[in-house]
Amino acid sequence: MLIGCKADQIETSIKSKDLRKAIAGNPVSVEFEAELSLMADTEDEETKAQLKSIEKIVEKYLSIEEFDITKGDFGFNIKIEGELPLVYSTGSKAITSVESPWVMKVSDNRDAGILSGFSHKLTFSTTSQFDAFSGELQNINLMLSPDERQPMKFKLKTTGNDVLHIFTGGAEVGGETRVLYEARVEKRISLTMQGGVYDSAEQVIYFSLK
């Protein structure tokens, strides 16, 4: 039996030129890496067959370059590398234009106060395909119910002469936990946003790009 379907962490790399392309309405994909651990009997043939079925489902919904399975102390460790769509959306409804169950979504910022100085928001969001993806996994094993919210590490990088200004809360930056964090991105920055409130709420990074 397989138990668990939440990543230990998903790491995604986003360049400022990717954000520009998405805002302009152009199709963009960004690289991601995910690692997850599944509790299981590593010698059970049924479990091995289920893993093959999981790989097929993941490849059906996501653009995957690598799907590696190794034995761990209490089951299997899975490492996935691929690409996620980076999509610009003007509405609050679930995105329907992609096959992926998750996307990196750019939207207009309409929040007031100190946040009004940032033109856009970047979030890790589910799409209209999430329920179908979840359903296919649960058809293999009822314990394989993926979480909508995942632990995230955002690696942001500026390109060319772009000026990227960000604001967020509840992030680990350079090994330090920040309740609030605002910065102009100088070349690159990594934001780890996981656990706590992010078990039930999506990560949000406010940004302006000039």
**pLDDT tens-digit series, residues 102-139:** 999 999 999 988 899 999 999 999 999 999 999 999 99
The band of 179, judged by pLDDT with boundaries at 50, 70 and 90, is: very high
The band of 1, judged by pLDDT with boundaries at 50, 70 and 90, is: very low
Adjacent-strand bridge partners of 209: 164
Angle between helices 45-61 and 130-140 (to 10 degrees): 170
Query: Which single residue is written with the structure tokens 């409804």?
Result: 93
Q: What is the pLDDT of residue 41?
A: 80
Question: Distance between the two ends of the chain, CA-based, in angstroms?
Answer: 51
Q: What is the pTM of this model?
A: 0.90
Count of all residues that appear for the chain in the document: 210
Q: What is the pLDDT of residue 3?
A: 43
Q: What is the pLDDT of residues 151-177, one digit of tens each?
A: 999 999 999 999 999 999 999 999 999
Q: Are 149 and 202 in contact (CB under 8 A)?
A: yes
Q: Are 32 and 152 in contact (CB under 8 A)?
A: no
Q: What is the mean pLDDT of residues 59-69?
A: 95
